[in-house]
Chain A
Amino acid sequence: MADKIRIGVFVCDCGSNIAGYLDVKELAEYAKTLPNVVYVKENLYTCSESGINEIKDAIGKENLNRVVVASCTPRTHEPLFRGTCGEGGLNPYLFEMVNIRDQCSWVHMQERERGTDKAKDLIRMGVAKAALLEPQEPIQSQMNPNALVIGGGISGMTAALALANRGYETTLVEKSPQLGGLLLRLDKLAPSDMDAATFANQQAELVKKHPKIHLLTSAEVDAVAGYIGHFNVFARTADGEENFDVGVIVVATGAQVLQPTGMYGYDGKTVINQLELEERFKAGTFSAQNVVMIQCVGARNEERKYCSRICCMVAIKNAIAIKELSPSTGVRILYRDIQAYGMENEALFQKAKELGVLFIKYDPNHPPRVESDKVMVQHHLLGRELALPQDLVVLSTPLIAGEDNETISKLLRVTLDENKFFLEGHVKLKPLDFATDGIYLCGNAHYPATAREAISQALGAASRASIPLSKGVMTAEPIVSTLVDEDACRGCGLCVALCPYGALEIQHTEKGRKVKVIPVACKGCGVCAATCYQHALSINSYTDQQVTEQIKAFLRG
């Protein structure tokens, strides 16, 4: 016989984030009238140490067996409060969170009364669900201690070296025959003045020699199955297919330079892009008396809205190189905004100006026109059109997403942004993680970056990846599918076919064909439960009954 349900409700003021817009006193009074609620407390900040202590104390003193916190979003605070319940001696899954900040106070700032009424409904719904919650135990599984890094540019090499230096067997898969990526085609790196290819090759040597790195060049990842701790990877190489298991994956697939075909008379000869200019530096074939560079070619427009972050600095770096190579050569940079963010970049910008590089701002509504020996541009200060002499035009084009990004995103089931760059899990809090556990990203695959930024991100991604690797055992949320009515299951396999994680399988039991859940692979999406016509499967903490009771609590209240 189950114990009598005793629910404690904690209503958070969130300082004035909630209390400034809702009548929190009234909410607390209201919560006391709800079925099974035996204790209600209003906190200035439920998440503060004192709020946390109040929950823990109340669990003991009031003999609570369910806790409801009406505060902010479970996205940020559910783990904290679950932990609190655990520390207070209550199973962490006997906890329900009601979001009266994001769903009430923040979005109904001008409607105190109606916002408060809504918050009452939400608390009533949460309490109704809480009464039906059942204890759950976290799922544990062993981690495969190896890593996969996709991409052998500076980011991929740096990440692989960092992981291998920590002692993790790392497979590095590079599509082309050679390590180094985009750096191989560049001249010098700014501001270090290091030769890009030399630097890339130095790193490549370290990678090749490292006993913990298994290098696959001219190779592509073909298929990936599994989940954090247990990825099974098929990589196609020149010699055939390799199949191996890893625990984590780092995506460092880089980006490509936009070819400005059809723009400003691009011909690869007298109108070239910055990459081709650097190739001329490398080959020693650069010669020109008047160079005009045009920024934002194919970027910050309707088709490609984004700013590619690095092209201004590439132009400045190359303008300085021209001035150092041939001081008499005139260099004019036509720009919209000079994106020389930070210390080193701004210093280079100043240096270019000191060397006599001219910067002329243009209006995207009146873009420059390239003519046979000059570039016409509307000068925004003088208010008239200038004719700039030129015998070489260099177009600064953005980095665009790698051509394989869509394929890789499907293989790994990770997200791309609207420009097909890989999208991190959270812009501020998880800049190097994907939303999917065990997969990380860095460098140009994520967004255009300088070498300094790419290296920094690669080390960071390796660091993030090494967290689960170093734990050896992975603990997962138990909010997963469960076979709640084995007798009802007919072993039809409808759910198995629809499970996106391969987390269900049919097995033969004494009672015949029955479905079996692999909890560590299950993410709790609930497709199986919503599909089963025998209602034999359910999702922990999201059962049919729990959802139905929430609906009833709202509409009957």
Chain B
Amino acid sequence: MEQVSGEVGAFKATIRKKARYVNQDLCTGCGSCAEKCPTMVVDAYNAGMGKRKAIYKYFPQGIPSVFTIDAPECRQLGQGKKCGVCAKVCQAKAIDFDQKDAIIEIEAGAIILATGYDVFDPSVIPEYGYTTINNVVTALEFERLLSASGPTAGHLDRPSDLLMEKDLEEGEKEVKKLARQVKSLEDKHGKTSADVVAAVKSGSAAVDDELIQWAQAAEKLAALEERVATLQKKTAAVQTAKKLAFIQCVGSRDFRFNRFCSSYCCMHSVKEAMIANEHDNAVNSSIFCMDLRAVGRGFEEYKLRGGKQANIKYVRGRVAEITEDEANNPIVWYESTTTQKVEHETFDMVVLATACVPTEGTAKVAELFGVELESNGFFKTHPLAPLNTTRPGIFTCGCAQGPMDIPESVAQASSAAARAAEVVAPLATVEKQKAVG
């Protein structure tokens, strides 16, 4: 949105449609461009845990099914290199490197702000170790790990183990390369590397630069081989995560960050723990919470079922700190309300139920549309007119006005539509249509 003018019943909006460098009408979504694109980019949809190409669709079922070039990452657009592979392989001739942003003007009687929310960034709570401990993830990241279409095809592979596997892969590649190098030297000189290493070490005669390099390479190879062997042993022993901890109210109900309750996270954690257990019956979970807020139809029952059937333990108390042991297992330190002592427990993975916060651009949107924000930074509404913003004709629904779960958001979307309809198709208009019809 660039600009909004006018008033209820007659708004005028200026919209900038960003260039996607792909002609939307021609693209068939076949994906051969992404298959051939040489640039790998971290995949935001999979919470940074996977890779995608520089020409991409945000997620496979996305609508419209059209590809987009991530301009800053693209060799040709962003880095000024010669590439154009996508344009070559596109049979629909849909790639358009010269595409420009388009300015669209529309007229509207009412406006609905449904800009959603952002997930709280837990790295500002250093004691939870989100940035330092690999096996501490956010609930949304965990959701991707659980998803059959996620980076691990739904297996609960721990991030530290995934990194180790990657490390091993690279190590093996390096070993192969070095081994080839050393082997060619051995073949050329008809000597074994061990002899050369010994010779160099003993400082015996006829040690030239080539021999020194050879010896260095051979020693490096030996060290690397040992490391790879250790990694191989370790990765062979890797198991998927079996013991999970969910930490509630990360960034919510916390005076340092957000005082409010994010509403949906308790049930979200119970659901994730249930699904993890469905995938693998050996999984058990502890949910660390202050109150377990299960307030919708069937929620309390679902929570109890999780306890009985899905190995979920509800632990009351606020987690003080998360540390890590040598095997990359996070250790949760908390004050037990039953023993009133600080206790700790080791888990395979920790999931942070992060707060629902206003989107980064909310304040800008509020300014653009001339609506007020409430103290937490969401669009301000009145309890008895829950869809109305502070400006007539502009309505808001869903998490843009505060945290809520999916059914409530869906219901509110209909409600906002009702309010907007009262503006754009009020009584008189309907009557007129009837008369005409």
Name the A residues within 8 Å of B415 (CB-CB): 456-460, 463
B44 within 8 A of A: no
A17 within 8 A of B: yes
Nearest B residue to A346 by beta-carbon distance?
B261
- The A-contacting residues of B in range 77-131, CB under 8 angstroms, are none
Decide: A166 and B387 in contact? CB cutoff 8 A: no
A513 within 8 A of B: no
Decide: B414 and A432 in contact? CB cutoff 8 A: yes
Name the B residues within 8 Å of A50 (CB-CB): 28-31, 65
Task: Tell which of B2-10, B219-227, B293-301, B326-334 binds the partner.
Answer: B293-301
Decide: A15 and B148 in contact? CB cutoff 8 A: yes
The smallest C-beta distance from A222 to any residue of chain B, in angstroms, reads: 29
* CA of A464 to CA of B410, assembled, Å: 11
- The B-contacting residues of A in range 12-27, CB under 8 angstroms, are 14-17, 20
- The B-contacting residues of A in range 324-376, CB under 8 angstroms, are 337-347, 350, 361
B282 within 8 A of A: no
A59 within 8 A of B: no
Name the B residues within 8 Å of A452 (CB-CB): 383-384, 386
Nearest B residue to A472 by beta-carbon distance?
B437
Identify A162's interface contact among B28, B259, B385, B422, CB under 8 A.
Answer: B422
Size of the chain A interface, CB-CB below 8 angstroms: 71
Task: Tell which of A134-142, A300-308, A519-527 binds the partner.
Answer: A300-308
* CA of A519 to CA of B181, assembled, Å: 81
Name the B residues within 8 Å of A344 (CB-CB): 383, 402
B72 within 8 A of A: no
Nearest A residue to B279 by beta-carbon distance?
A109
Nearest A residue to B63 by beta-carbon distance?
A49
Known contacts A50-B29, A343-B374, A381-B337, A421 near B297 by CB under 8 Å: yes
* CA of A455 to CA of B419, assembled, Å: 12
Known contacts A20-B148, A48-B65, A347-B260, A463 near B417 by CB under 8 Å: yes
Name the A residues within 8 Å of B337 (CB-CB): 380-381
Size of the chain B interface, CB-CB below 8 angstroms: 71
Nearest B residue to A191 by beta-carbon distance?
B383
A385 within 8 A of B: no
The smallest C-beta distance from B280 to any residue of chain A, in angstroms, reads: 10
Decide: A212 and B427 in contact? CB cutoff 8 A: yes
B71 within 8 A of A: no
Decide: A463 and B421 in contact? CB cutoff 8 A: yes
The smallest C-beta distance from B49 to any residue of chain A, in angstroms, reads: 15
Decide: A20 and B153 in contact? CB cutoff 8 A: yes
Decide: A342 and B296 in contact? CB cutoff 8 A: no
Task: Tell which of A173-181, A277-285, A423-431, A529-537 binds the partner.
Answer: A423-431
Nearest B residue to A340 by beta-carbon distance?
B261
B291 within 8 A of A: yes
* CA of A403 to CA of B297, assembled, Å: 19
* CA of A459 to CA of B418, assembled, Å: 6
Decide: B426 and A306 in contact? CB cutoff 8 A: no
Name the A residues within 8 Å of B169 (CB-CB): none
**When A and B form their complex, which 10 residue pairs have the shortest distance between CB atoms, in order from nearest?**
A49-B65, A167-B430, A460-B414, A463-B418, A459-B415, A337-B291, A460-B415, A15-B149, A343-B260, A50-B29
Can you name 15 extra interface pairs (CB under 8 A) apart from A166-B430, A167-B427, A191-B383? Answer: A17-B148, A48-B29, A49-B63, A166-B421, A167-B434, A189-B383, A344-B402, A346-B260, A346-B261, A347-B259, A427-B407, A431-B408, A456-B386, A463-B421, A470-B425
- Give residues in A with beta carbon < 8 Å to B: 14-17, 20, 44-45, 47-50, 53, 162, 164-168, 189-192, 194, 199, 212, 300, 305-307, 309, 337-347, 350, 361, 380-381, 383, 417, 421, 427-429, 431-432, 446-447, 451-453, 455-464, 466, 470, 472
